Amino acid sequence: MALGYVRPARPEDAGEIARIQLATWRVAYRRILPRHVLENLDEAWLARRWTAAVQEPPSDSHRVLVAVEQAEQSYLVGFVASGPADAEALAPNEPAES
């Protein structure tokens, strides 16, 4: 029986986060973006950006969490990054909460 849990991301998770992101994007956006765009996304560059997000978040309110499945081995199966919404993230006429 497999067990799962969520924990804060660690810098060493960055490569797996990048791999999951790219695999997801290559499926989710395959009908929206040209194939060459998806094929040329740089996994190493993304991993460096995720390392920075984990090690040096822009504020104390920013988080990167990973979902881990633990069976005979533990491995990452998902991730989430969260932080406060900024003005650029709001829809037109959407009020910013204080």
Q: Helices marked H in the chain — which ranges?
A: 14-28, 35-39, 43-55
What does each of the 98 residues of the chain score in pLDDT, given as a tens digit?
568 999 999 999 999 999 999 999 999 999 999 999 999 999 999 999 999 999 999 999 999 999 999 988 889 999 999 998 777 777 888 877 65
3-state SS assignment for residue 70: strand
Query: Residue 31 has what pLDDT?
Result: 94
Q: Which residue from 8, 29, 75, 21 is spatially nearest to 47, judged by alpha carbons?
A: 21
- State the pTM of this model: 0.83
Query: Residue 78 has what pLDDT?
Result: 96
Query: Residue 72 has what pLDDT?
Result: 83
Query: Residue 23 has what pLDDT?
Result: 94
**CB-CB contact of 66 with 6 (8 Å):** yes
Query: Residue 91 has what pLDDT?
Result: 81
How far is it, in rounded angstroms, from Cα 52 to Cα 33?
27
Look up residue 10 and give its amino acid. Answer: R
How far is it, in rounded angstroms, from Cα 33 to Cα 53?
25
Query: Residue 1 has what pLDDT?
Result: 59
C-alpha separations of 44 from 21, 56, 68, 84 in Å: 12, 18, 21, 27
